[in-house]
Amino acid sequence: MPLSGRRFQPKMEKRPAWLTKRLVFDPAVQETEAVVARHRLHTVCAAAGCPNRSECFARRVATFMILGDVCTRGCAFCGVRRGRPEPPAADEPDRVAAAAAALGLEYVVVTSVTRDDLPDGGAGLFARTVTAIRAARPPVRVEVLTPDFQGDRAALETVLSAGPAVFNHNLETVARLYPRVRPQAGYRRSLEVLRRARRFGSGLVKSGLMLGLGETDAEVESALADLREAGVEIVTLGQYLRPNPGCLPVTRHPRPEEFDAWAETAKRLGFRAAAAGPFVRSSYYAAEVFRSTGT
Ligand code: SF4
Segment 30-59, tens digit of pLDDT: 999 999 999 999 999 999 999 999 999 999
- Give the global pTM: 0.94
Amino acid (one-letter) located at 85:
P
- Compare 63 and 2 and report the one with higher pLDDT: 63
CB 282 within 8 A of CB 205: no
Residue 14, pLDDT score: 82
Mean pLDDT of the chain: 95
Superfamily (CATH) of domain 22-291: Aldolase class I (3.20.20.70)
Q: Check if 171 has its Cβ closer than 6 Å to any atom of ligand 1.
A: no
Q: Read off the pLDDT band of 4 (50, 70, 90).
A: very low
Residue 5, pLDDT score: 41
Residue 10, pLDDT score: 42
Among 8, 6, 13, 3, residue whose Cα is nearest residue 250: 13
Instruction: Count Cβ atoms below 10 Å from residue 30 Cβ, excluding itself.
Output: 16
Residue 201 pLDDT greater than 50, yes or no: yes
Q: For atom 3 of ligand 1, which residue has the closest CA?
A: 45
| In the chain, domain spans | 22-291
Q: Read off the pLDDT band of 295 (50, 70, 90).
A: confident
Q: For atom 1 of ligand 1, which residue has the closest CA?
A: 284
